[in-house]
Structure 1
Amino acid sequence: MYSKIIASSVLLGATLFGAPSFASDKPAMLQQNSPVLVTSPVARVADVQTIDGIVAALYDVISGGIGQPRDWNRMRSLFIPEARIMAIGPKRDSKDLALRIMTVSDYIANSGPILIETGFREKELSRKTEVWGELAHIFTTYETNTEKSKTAQRGINSVQLMNDGTRWWIVSLLFEAERAQLSLPETYLK
């Protein structure tokens, strides 16, 4: 069913915006100009059958001690291939805010080495969930800890999910950390 959903949305996008088309013999395979073929690794059933499972897997996959490898294929298996991970935060040497937009592979390439080097761990403190039909939106309050610098930080992950009838997929993840001018209200800590 997921392939049909993606095929329908990409075909709609192709009609409206001149996006890439599908090969006629393989409707779920996107014809791309790039030689890179985007697919998702097979997910662990326990990771994607429930909202609790996929949120727990999201936190688990990026957490670990200094030098501990992460299972990046497990992370990729949680997200649709076109998913985005986005971060809101202050620009360097500025009070202005910026939005950083990454693919899952961008996140892994840019943040992965830092997570391993610093002994980064993230855990869920609380969650607010809204579900309607096959979509879910989650505000999950997190706390991060790094072994190397002995620092802790809190913030919110805003996670958008879809269920294709067989499993949950992360469509996008937008997060923002607390800072001096922005502290978490009590409602997101319960």
Structure 2
Amino acid sequence: MGNFKFLLVLFLGVSFSSMAQSQKEAYLDKVQTLDDTLATLYGVISGEKGEQRNWELFQFLFHPDAKLMPSVKNQKGQVTARYLSVDDYIGVAGKSLVENGFFETEIHRITDSFGPITQVFSTYESFRSKKDDIPFMRGINSIQLLDDGSRWWIMNIYWTQESEENPIPKKYLPKH
């Protein structure tokens, strides 16, 4: 009976490992181009109130050492950055995204590349529902990416929200 349990555990471990690997392989088409990677980023965090997000796919987009860094004002009113791992971000923001509904839409992009590295200034609008016409927030995501020859990796996202004292400059807004 001991050998049977061992074989069963071994089989289940290999099966779950293979299943996890095949799920991740299914995500490879989402990181083959810069456009696909960014569309997936915005798509995976967006959803109606009560709609669960695919955090496995979200994690797949990011390099293991990636950081997500919102700029924030501290208690003294000084602007600083908060450094989050991908898992930290999921823990901090995940519940709120589901409880309140959240859609982030890219409205303009400026891209600079050199060799395998790319910097994107991605201007966004945020909504609580797809049905909303007016965003409750806008800002700019500064996204650093690496093309390793087989896929794109998000290395970091550093962002700030628009405010009255910090409006988005016209060069980062769509031309009308």
The structure with the largest helix share of the pair is: 2
User: What is the SS of the residue equivalent to 1:42?
Assistant: helix
CA-based RMSD: 1.9
Structure 1 gaps of 5+ residues are 1-40
2-structure distance, mates of 1:162, 1:100: 22
Q: State the partner residue of 1:59.
A: 42
Q: State the partner residue of 1:142.
A: 124
Q: State the partner residue of 2:17.
A: none
User: What is the SS of the residue equivalent to 1:165?
Assistant: coil
Q: How far apart are 1:90 and its partner, in Å?
A: 2.0
Q: State the partner residue of 2:79.
A: 97
Aligned partner of 2:33 among 27, 30, 50: 50
Q: State the partner residue of 1:18.
A: none
Structure 2 gaps of 5+ residues are 1-22
Identity of aligned residues (%): 37
**TM-score, with length taken from structure 2:** 0.79
Q: How far apart are 1:96 and its partner, in Å?
A: 2.1
The residue identity in structure 1 corresponding to 2:162 is: E
Q: How far apart are 1:151 and its partner, in Å?
A: 5.7
2-structure distance, mates of 1:86, 1:135: 19
Max radius of gyration: which structure? Answer: 2
2-structure distance, mates of 1:151, 1:161: 27
2-structure distance, mates of 1:101, 1:70: 22
The residue identity in structure 2 corresponding to 1:131 is: S
Aligned length: 149
Hey, which bits of structure 1, 4+ residues long, moved more than 4 A?
none
Q: Deviations over 1:96-116 (max 9, x none)?
A: 222110000000011000000
2-structure distance, mates of 1:123, 1:176: 15
Kindly indicate whether the alpha-carbon contact (under 8 Å) linking 2:101 and 2:128 is maintained by their aligned counterparts in 1.
yes
The structure with the largest strand share of the pair is: 1
Q: How far apart are 1:45 and its partner, in Å?
A: 2.7
1:111 matches 2:90:
no
2-structure distance, mates of 1:165, 1:145: 35
